[in-house]
Amino acid sequence: MGPGAVNDSPSAADLIAALARQVADFPSPGIQFKDLTPVFADPRGLAAVTDAIAELASGADLIAGLDARGFLIGGAVAARLNTGVLAIRKGGKLPPPVRTEHYQLEYGTASLELPADGINVDGRNVVVVDDVLATGGTLAAAHRLLEHAGARVTAAAVVIELAGLGGRDLVAPLPVHSIVVL
Q: Catalytic residue numbers?
A: 69, 106
Residues 57-76 interacting with ligand AMP (rule: CB under 6 A): 66, 69
Q: Which of 37, 125, 135, 154 binds ligand AMP (CB under 6 A)?
A: 135
The stretch among 74-82, 83-91, 117-125, 130-138 that binds ligand AMP (CB under 6 A) is 130-138
Q: 116 phi and psi, to 5 degrees?
A: -95, 5
Question: According to CB under 6 A, which one of 15, 129, 134, 153 is a site residue for ligand AMP?
Answer: 134
Binding segment for ligand AMP (CB under 6 A), chosen from 13-21, 87-95, 117-125, 127-135, is 127-135
Burial-class residue 75 by CB neighbours within 10 Å (0-12, 13-18, 19+).
middle
Nearest residue (CB) to ligand AMP, 61 versus 166: 166
Instruction: Decide if residue 34 touches ligand AMP (CB under 6 A).
Output: yes
> Is 53 in contact with 69 (CB distance < 8 Å)?
no
Question: Do the Cβ atoms of 54 and 47 come closer than 8 Å?
Answer: no
Whole-angstrom Cα distance, residue 39 to residue 19?
Answer: 5
Q: Is residue 23 classed as helix, strand or coil in its secondary structure?
A: strand
CA 166 vs CA 20, 135, 155: distances in Å: 22, 6, 17
Question: Quick one: which of 133, 142, 156, 176 contacts ligand AMP (CB under 6 A)?
Answer: 133
Binding residues (CB under 6 A) for ligand AMP: these are: 31-34, 66, 69, 130-139, 167
